[in-house]
Structures are given as C-alpha cells and as structure tokens.
Amino acid sequence: MTFRFLLLWLATVSFFSAFYSLLVPLPRHLAALGLSPTQLGAVLGAFATAAIVARPLAALATDRVRPVAVAVAGGLLLALGSAALGRLHGVAALWLARALHGVAYAAFTTAGTVLAAQLAPETLRGRAMAHYGMAANVAMGFAPLAGQHVMGWSSPGFAFWLAAGLALLTLPLLAVTRPGRRQVAEAPAGTAGGVRPWARGLAVPALVSLVFGAGFGAFFNFLSLLSPARGFGDAGPLFTAYAAAIILARVTGGWLLDRRDRRYVLAPVLAGLGFSLLGMGLAPSRAWLLVAVTAFGWGCGLAHPGLIALAMDRVPAGARGRGVGAFYLAFDLGIGPGSWLLGAVLGRAGFGGLFGIAGGLAWLGAGALVAEGYWSSARTWRHSLTSAAKTSARAPR
C-alpha cells in the first residue's frame, strides 16, 4: 500500500464514517419532527433514488475530469446534506437534503474506486479493490454506534454537524491523493456512433452484479426480520459476524482475485453465496444461521471487489469511471427493485422462498461467468485453428 493509497483509504473511512454515523440519529430526528411513517420512508428513500439517477453522471464525470475533483464534490455534498438535515423541517426540503447524500455517495464511490485503481499496479488490481473496500467496513464497525452515543449525550443537531465535519475531513486527504499524471478519457478507435466495443464486454459483469445485489439486498433488508421471526433473537450479532467475515476475506483472500482469469475465482464465490443464502432461509437454529451469515460475509468480501476489478478489466483506462459505474448501477438496482420483488415473495413463500430465490439468482450469476469463460475459450481456440490453417495454406510447398 503506497502513501497516496493510504491517504485515499483514510479519506474513504472518513466519508463512510460521516455517512454511517447518521444511521441511528437520522430516523429518530425525522420521527421527532413529527413526520408520518409514509413521509419518513419517502425522505429516507430519497437516498437510493438519487444515487441510482446520479450514478451514470458520476461515472461520466469521473472519466471527463479528474477523479479527485468528483470525489471532492462527493465530500462537499455529503457535508452540505448532513448540515441541512439537522436544520431543515419541511418534508420537501428534507427530501432534497437526503437526496444530496445519494448524489454524494454515487460521486465518491465511483471516483474513489477509480482513484484506487490508478494508485495500484494493474497486476494487483483485485487485491487493491479488496483492501480499498475495507475502508467502508471499518467505518461500519464503529460509526453507527458512535452516532448513537453522540445523540444520547449532546443536542439533537450535533450529530449532523459531526457528520458534516467528518465529510469535510475527506477534502485535505483527497487533495494529495491524485496520481502523478492526469487520467485523460480517450475514446477507443471505432466508437463514433453506436455502442462502444468495450461496452459490450460489460454485459455479463453487469448481469452478475445485478443478481449479486439482489442477494445482498435479501440479506441486508430481511435478515433482521428472519432472525426474531424464527425465535433466534436479535440480528445485531449476526451483522457483526458478517462484517468481521468480510474484513477477514479481504485481508486473507484478496490475492485470489489477481489470478489470470477472475471469472473462475468469482464463479465458485457466487455459487457459495447461493448456498449461504439458501442456508439462511432453511437454518433450523441460530448456530446454523450464524454459519450461513459468516459464509455470506466471506463471499461478499471477495465478490464485491472482484466484480469491480472484472468490470475495469473490460474498459480502456479512460473509461474506468463508466466501468465502475456499470457495476454500482447494476448492484444498486439489484438491491432496490430486487428487494421490492423479494418482499412480494415473502408474503407468498415465506423466508425460505425469499432466500431460496436469492440463492438461485446467485447461482445464475455463477453460471453466466462459467458460460462466458467457456465461449471465450472456444472462440480463442477456433481463432487459433483458423490462423494455423491460413498459415499452413500460405506456406510454400
């Protein structure tokens, strides 16, 4: 890890600490303002809506200007939105302030991931993505609890000013993290009009990211309901086990993502995620559920950075923002609309059906990676045979 990479990592910890520190104070603050459950849900949901809409724009901006500038804009917007949430009262104003969080998230995560790729050797891209991703996991480990304690001993608005301060802390750290030369977005030859050739290569990674997002949404949104419904108690310790497994996987298994063909690492990881989701839906005891959750965390720790690296493998250097944006857009769509669809399944088939379908989608992603790898190898083999035949035909007799 280089010094600049470390500064970027610290800036990312600061950004996500600001974001996660409001997980507890924000809903309580909105409820204290007298918002109805429908209004509260609308304000909180503004984040996901804005993030999905802003993601393509953030990806394009990352490729057209310095990624550092886009990440800085993300930090500024997060600070502005946090401060505004602590001061505003109207539902429309609160919705716009929360939407700023979504735009900030889209900008920072897209540009920050591209920066991490620029600051790491290409041969270590998978490991770099794994280590960079740990910044958000570290912030998740302490920031929500810290925000809860701050709200308990201070004035209600202080938690929002603290979040704004943490967001602003990213700015000086980002100022010295830019790579030595500017990354200029260059369109590859033959891209005028129509779909760029490299964009077609993102189809399978985007599909796999979509089903991965659906599985993550099933876990993140429904585990806290499954555990008490089965009589297994509160889900808090399960989320702790999940976070610990992610960090352990990225520290000890990140090197696996730098194998020559990432597809054959990611395929068994996705298959394992499918079995762990199925295990959650069928777990007969809390101990079995803990095992399934831990296995899921391990798989997420490798799948998330691996799919980002795979997407960036498919695009030229000047289009890395769009490669990262394709991953996150598909992932976010899997979490959001995917969770709505799975919620409908819950009413008809229970938790077993919900997690079973989520597991099946993960297996679909594994199959897509294997199939693409097979057809790619077959094309290469056919091309080699054709080239050999042409060479043999031109050889003098």
Which is more confident, 185 or 363?
363
The pTM for the full model equals 0.78
What tens digit of pLDDT does each residue of 269-322 get? 999 999 999 999 999 999 999 999 999 999 999 999 999 989 888 888 788 888
For residue 55, what pLDDT is reported? 93
Q: What is the pLDDT of residues 18-67, one digit of tens each?
A: 998 888 788 888 888 998 878 887 888 888 889 999 999 999 999 998 89
Per-residue pLDDT, 380: 64
* Cβ neighbours of 104 (radius 10 Å): 30
pLDDT score recorded for residue 194: 40
Distance, CA of 340 to CA of 214 (rounded, Å): 10
The string of pLDDT tens digits covering residues 147-182 is 878 877 777 688 899 999 999 999 999 988 866 554
Beta-carbon contacts of residue 40 (< 8 Å; ≥ 6 apart): 27, 30, 31
CATH of domain 198-385: 1.20.1250.20
Task: Give pLDDT tens digits for 334-361.
Answer: 887 777 788 888 888 899 999 999 999 9
pLDDT value at residue 319: 85
Task: Return the higher-pLDDT residue of 325 and 14.
Answer: 14
CA 184 to chain centre: 25
Q: Find the distance separating the first CA and the last CA of the chain, reported in whole Å.
A: 57
Looking at residue 167, its pLDDT comes to 97
Asked if 3-175 and 198-385 have one fold, the answer is: yes
Q: Which fold has domain 3-175?
A: Growth Hormone; Chain: A; (1.20.1250)
pLDDT tens figures, 179-229:
655 434 443 433 333 445 556 778 899 999 999 999 998 888 788 888 888
> Is the distance from CB of 332 to CB of 48 less than 8 angstroms?
yes
260: exposed, middle or buried (Cβ count in 10 Å: 0-12, 13-18, 19+): exposed
Domain residue spans in the chain?
3-175, 198-385
